[in-house]
Structure 1
Amino acid sequence: PLPLALPQQNPLHIRANLMRELLDSHLATSLIPEDSVALGIIAIHNDTPQWLDPELLRQPLRLEQSLGDQQQDLSRQYEALLRDILNSRLSGSLDNAFSARDYFSLLPPVGTTPKDAIDAVAGVQTYFPEHFNVHIAPIRQSDVDLIRSESLPLPNIDLNTKEAVDIVVLAPLSNQDYGLYAQQLERAYDPQSRRLPQLDLLRLKLYPVQPVHELDTDADVWQAIWDTLGDSQLLYVRRPVRAAETAVSGIVLALGSTLPQPGQPDDNTNPDPSDPGSVIEDEDSVLLRFLNFERLAAIRPPRDSDGEEALAQLTRDNRGDAAAVLQANEFLMLVERYFDPAIWPTLQQLMEQDALPAMLERLREQEVERPGASGRQVLESGAELGLDDTVLRRWEALLDSMN
């Protein structure tokens, strides 16, 4: 018999409580003799079997403990118990719009979410606590197994915690349906923030909140997604805790040094899971792994110290800005290599003045293809767009040397 006091509760609640208590590997090991193998837990009352849970205490053969084993055991137990909960509610003519805390106190970092507990059309969810940050997005069905395996090593989700936990609910779709609906949920390119088009995740609240002045243009898309899902359940994933955007998680300070003042929050920062800290890497991050200022400089290297300083300033000011890299790349494609001695100081000043889009538009509109055409366009537009006299004289000298 288990040396644990069990309350007089519904068997489903008892099993959920045992999930948490027996997650302690030391306790579980102490309950099972060394020459025995656990096949589950059976409850007996008055010599009559009450219920059997074949997952509790049961573990696959492992040579040694490794990262994610505990979460893997909890995930297996959670999925089995959730199936029994859904079947029990179905037999009792109850819907599945319940809270996870009605049964569980601890969840694995990734698992199934009852579809009835999520209403993406109204932007409402009942499954997770109110103070959790819950978002929803579609995902390809073919990516589900990968997401599960990558998310299992994350910490388990304590539903009793007072701290906010970031959760992404994923709606699995076929490749064809994903291609149709995900594109409709993409935000357009924003020239002000220079963010590339990418999928915006829908924030879910415990209670519906719809400002009267706000037009919800995604409701029809989510309704179509919901109809496509049918009876399929959803998947939730815990978002990993983000380190700093610089990817530095800790700095060792010398004894006696003083801490720097904390930086001011950026009002333009979007805290939702569509940023690069998401479980799913966004388009900006993927692009910047292959195309960045360092890569552009390797192809069109600065010719002097002024160019090197301008490149360094560009990199500092626009780190992580994929749209800025794309604009710089287009400028380098439109301007001949002959003008490389002036190219990087020009780029730096145009970006500093937010004038690069206007310059690119004028370069694209060139109709006459002749040597130095792009250089003449830069020289003619430079003063108007904020280039200083030193840079303009460089362009003028380069053009004069062509004649």
Structure 2
Amino acid sequence: MNRTAKIKRKSKENGMSSQVVIVSVAAGGGHKTAMYSLGQSLARFAPSLVPTYFESHIEDLEKAHRVVYSKFTRAYDFFYDMTDSDWLRRLYFMTTSALVAKMKAEMRPLFDSHARLIISTHFMQTYALLQLKRELNSSAKIVAYIPDFDESMVHFPEVKGNIPDAVIAQSPRLLQKLAQKYKLPKTATVQAGYIPRAEFSDARKQSPKIARENLSRIDAPLAKHIQTELFTLVATGGTFWVESLYDALEPLARSSAFDWTRSQLIIACGNNKTAYQKYKSLGERHGVGIIPLPFLNYAQMALLFRSASAVVLSGVAPATLYELLETDAGPISIYRINPGPEKFNLAYVCQKQLAEFTPDAALLRARLAQLSRAPDEVVQQKQAFCKAALNERKEALARAEQMASFIERLATSL
């Protein structure tokens, strides 16, 4: 069955009078998670709209991200800071025309299936959709969704005077900039909310001790070594990027300042076999409780987050952030961020006191060592984090309700 037929069949099963499609790009798990978060919001607050999900299979963008983020950090940051410039955005889309052409070919079936409202979670897809809409003279509405707290204008592309029909963004500042530049009415903009998958809400119903016990039973080689009573430090932040924590955490394995007698370190390695082996060898070499875990499904990842006494992140993206908040998995230390949009995410979490940025490896280790030896301080910091997390969850849920109503109005006006 081709992709057009699949989309048509799913739409018929859903019984939609006006089809809503949410598309995501293969550029890390955040865009896919954002796509399903939108679906969660609609299911909760606009149940008459049952969206179709469209996941891209083009991997070029993710491969490019890895190269640029790891090899050209400063250059990419400089470029990103300049993307409010119209000419630079036009140049960027010209130089990426081959990738845009691939995306157009992949998404053309959406228009063949008479999609009426298409929500895009990545600006490259938004640009490709705008080109398709113009070429096919389609009446479909294109909505740009920006899952990061990003303020860059690159997320709202323009194709020969044609712009997205509406925009959903985490950042109020970006919405203000777009409204001012493009004279967008209030009915065309809304701030995004965020609802994590149900697995993370379910995990919070368990105590951290029970979550560790359940995590120790999963089908993973080293999971059986997880102990329920220990101070549990969780390292996460993306399959590719969690390896970048190794140099910062490695000295802890041989440190007398870190109390390994009452502590364990669990690392979410995903499909990164190199990182898995490095952390595994580190624990074995020093005889300490370092437990790398391979790829985890959503329920298992939720158990991991709920198990945490404290968390170290190798990057900060809304998807991971709201999953951590949902499971009360703090306090959170952020060691590094990726170039580009993550500086906006960092500014948000620090402003809301949801995390602490500790880019100095020695200071990070000192902070973690202190927590390993001070259970009362861990309790105090956990309580403060949970209070901030609860406030943010409530605000994000309220925004999700407004966002769902916004999408429902767009869909019913077709």
TM-score, L = length of structure 2? 0.23
- Specify the structure having the higher radius of gyration (Cα): 1
Q: Which has the higher helix share?
A: 2
Q: Which has the higher contact order (CA 8 A, sep 6+)?
A: 2
What is the TM-score normalised by the length of structure 1?
A: 0.23
